[in-house]
Structure 1
Amino acid sequence: MNMSRTTITIKQAKDQLVLAAKQYFSKDACGAYRLDRRRARPICLMGPAGLGKTEVVRQVAEEQGLGFVSYSITHHTRQSLLGLPQLREVQLGGETVTATRYTMSEIITDIWQEMERTGRKEGILFLDEFNAAAASLHPVMLQLLQNKALGQHAIPDGWMLVVAGNPSDSNRSAERLDAVTADRLRMLRLRPDLAAWKEYMMPRGIHPLVLAYLECYSEDLHQLGTEDGVVTIVTPRAWEDLSLQLYFYEQEGAAVGETVIGQVIQNEAVAKRFWLHYKKKEQALYRKTASQLEQGLPLNQQWERLRALQKQDVWALTAFLADRIQRMCRQAAEEEQALETLHGVLQEALGSGDCVAYLRGLSGEHPSSTWTFVQSYLEQVEEDPSGDGLRTAYQTGPLARRGALVDRACAMLEHTIDFCRRCYPEQPQMEYLVESIARDKTCQSIVSLRETPLFTAAGRELYVRKPKTPARKAV
């Protein structure tokens, strides 16, 4: 088996990037880097467009506390990479001669500016579309890999080089790396992976019907084909963009037609297949089920209909319910944030000795919810020397409303977990539901405020069933 051709997911690539960064920036007892810069092979992420290569490198830099500078090689000429030539008089062998010197490369300049801006002396320089560089830049790229320099200027010590490229079948201007260039790189060959993409998208709120479609047509996560002699491509990035577009159109009440989908999913067959899936959605059933679960009502009337749903419709329903829970948690979190701001204002009012006078003279920028509460309070109270009226208004108004929103979200979560466990036992939808909430930081902050035994038990079962794989075994 040719191990150099083994492919990995973007999640596994991130694990390898983290390990590479730790190796690259490791220091000895004297504070010197253990790895000589000339021996530090740059990592090359080679994979189809739209997998999230740039984003994953950015994430690693941020999580490791590193600076980050990103460039696309195709946007550069020889002059912008090497700097502009200048003629200068220099002394050579006792004679004054005119020699060519170069200004600092735009990329090297940006690295120094990033260090000044962030105060981070270590970082990652990411160069995208590395194998699509013009032929005139090939010697420059080879020098960069070998000497970590662009022309006469070296990449600052403490900066790690990561490059990325696309296979030639998905990028007409891309070329296969020659053996000499490849021998100076650590190659990570990436493949599209639905599980890794879901893990990335869950906290961002993927549209339920996009998820349901891809669970049934996972091969469409990334599609490369030709239509009328023109190369067409569908990427994970396109599905993320479509998810955002569907949410916006639905919020605005705008019609979603096949042409709208085709604007993003630019493969006619895939766009049509998704459109048929979207058009036959049972949104009325989804909404009714979600409403009854939210109210804690039995689902007796539609139970058999729910049990008889096709696989892709079960996925769509589960994703729809997860999205409803996430929205409820976000609403509660927004109320929580507004409450903190209001609480600070009211604390100052209570400490002033005259709540009414203080709030009447309130100025500055405050959220609309703060002004609404203050206006309502002042309309009902003329004097409040003890502040009891203000405390009561706060406790019975915003504080109680926040508590009710948290209660609703957590109750909806528990009812949904119970429903999935009884209606679709031993099916992967429960795993998706639990992970979509567990990986959402906003949901976690709200769910942690209440007891949710069913969710906790389901999460524990999932963790036992799916132990984590060590990063070094991923490749």
Structure 2
Amino acid sequence: MRAVTVARLLGREIEAVLSGEHTPLMLWGPPGVGKSALVAQVARDAGLPMIDLRLSQLEASDLRGMPYQKDGRVEWAIPAMLPDAVRHGPRGVLFLDEINAALPQVAAAAYQLILDRRLGDYRLPEGWVIIAAGNRLGDRGVTYAMPAPLANRFTHVELAPVIDDWLAWAEKSAVDERLRRFLQQRPDLLFVFPEQANTHAFPSPRSWAFADRALRKFADDADLLEPALIACVGEVAALLFIAWMERPQFDIDTLLAQAEPMLPDDADGRWAVLDAALVRARQLDAADKEAASRLLRLAARFEPELGERLVRVLRERLGEGLYALDAFDDWAVACSRDHGVSA
């Protein structure tokens, strides 16, 4: 699910607590896609405090409290980190992060809090919502399979990285324009989960935000900038970004909007345009004939061997429907002319 949709859903859950209709929500997603940041932003937008409990770092007693003797019986001291209407306010967000990385006994202690909004003598204030988050089992994090009784206490949503959502956040957050333009042309690099388990740095929405910081810190020192970017997003993505910055710059959306796209004169620039066009073609909605026609018009401006690469990808996406487009006929005529074949 896209971040904008998840944000709206979370906002409704915050409102629903006032009518007694709130259901605890579990937010799933791979590392680095912005689960924690999204929940924090929704809480800020609602003007509410958020208490972030990293359950993977807690012991069961941290939630249950410590026992002490009073009047000949054992009572439990309520942990100060749990929401309190007097200290924290009558409304807020209790965020149980890394819940499926918690020790089983910690997860067990959370059962009652999540379902019954209480834990022993402690009562969660009525205006507080419960949201949890965690990585999926296949993400190679330190996770436990969520027990069925705990899973059944949540509704479940999976957060997916989408380039438009990240670009909207990046513009609002004043991320370096070069970085925004690069990922706009290479959305396939927004998130690339590493195939090898021992890979430490890889592209993700979070690590690209780190790359933005690196650009600000090391822009005046090329010797430091390259290793700093590699440390953020990994070698492949970092070197592609550096090579892109050294190429003549263009805007793929502007080129696609032109009736007769004007390609760069140099070979490096033309290859850069082709790379960006191929990414667009691979992500093309087969029903979007206008977008396909724009890509065909662009293909007609390339040398035949380059344009044919783009058309082959369009054929994979549109199938036989490609041949019904007027722009395909125009490309075929241009390609035949460039090959010296009579139309």
Match of 2:236 in 1: 272
Residue 112 of structure 2 aligns with an amino acid whose one-letter code is Q
Cα distance in 2 for partners of 1:47, 1:208 equals: 27
The answer for the alignment partner of 2:155 in structure 1 is 186
Q: Could you tell me which amino acid in structure 2 is paired with residue 75 of structure 1?
A: Q
Q: Does 1:199 align with 2:168?
A: yes
**Cα deviation 1:32-90 (Å, max 9, x = unaligned):** xx316xxx32111111122222222222222223222222111211222111110222x
Equivalent AA in structure 2 for residue 102 of structure 1: W
> What does 1:60-459 correspond to in 2, within 5 Å?
60-89=42-71, 98-108=72-82, 112-115=86-89, 121-227=90-196, 229-232=197-200, 233-250=202-219, 252-266=220-234, 271-279=235-243, 281-282=245-246, 305=265, 309-310=269-270, 312=272
Q: Partner residue of 1:35? A: 20
Does the 8 A contact of 1:213 with 1:274 survive in 2? no
Q: CA deviation at 1:189?
A: 1.1
Bigger helix share: 1
Question: Partner residue of 1:54?
Answer: 36
3-state DSSP class of the match of 2:31? coil
**TM-fit CA distance, 1:200:** 0.9
- Separation in 2, partners of 1:243, 1:313: 23
- 1:173 deviates by 1.8
Q: Report if the CA contact (8 A) 1:86-1:100 is conserved.
A: yes
CA shift in 2, pair 1:80/1:253, >3 Å:
same
Q: Give the structure 2 partner of residue 23 of structure 1.
A: 16
Instruction: Measure how far apart 1:155 and its partner are.
Output: 1.1
| CA–CA separation in structure 2 for the residues paired with 1:68 and 1:76 | 18
- Distance in 2 between the 1:20 and 1:211 partners? 32
Q: Match for 1:260: what amino acid?
A: A
Assess if the C-alpha contact under 8 Å between 2:64 and 2:120 holds in 1.
yes
Aligned partner of 1:397 in structure 2 is: none
Aligned pair in 2 of structure 1 residues 200, 307: CA closer, same or farther (>3 Å)?
farther
- Is 1:13 equivalent to 2:3 in the alignment? no
Structure whose CA Rg is larger: 1
Q: Deviations over 1:335-361 (max 9, x none)?
A: xxxxxxxxxxxxxxxxxxxxxxxxxxx
Consecutive unaligned residues in structure 1, runs of 5 or more = 1-7, 26-33, 90-97, 116-120, 290-301, 317-425, 428-475
Percent sequence identity over matched residues?
A: 20
Structure 1 residue 133 displacement after superposition: 0.8
Question: What SS does structure 2 have at the residue aligned with 1:17?
Answer: helix
Distance 1:200 1:280, change over 3 A: closer
Q: Distance in 1 between matches of 2:215 and 2:273?
A: 18
Please say if residues 100 and 107 of structure 2, whose CA atoms lie closer than 8 Å, have aligned partners that are also in contact: no
Unaligned runs of 5+ in 2: 251-261, 277-293, 296-343
Deviation at 1:312, TM superposition (A): 4.5
User: What's the TM-score once normalised by structure 1's chain length?
Assistant: 0.50
- In the superposition, the TM-score normalised over structure 2's length comes to 0.68
Tell me, yes or no, if the aligned pair for 1:46 and 1:164 is still in contact at 8 Å: yes
CA-atom RMSD in angstroms: 3.1
Partner secondary structure for residue 140 of structure 1: helix
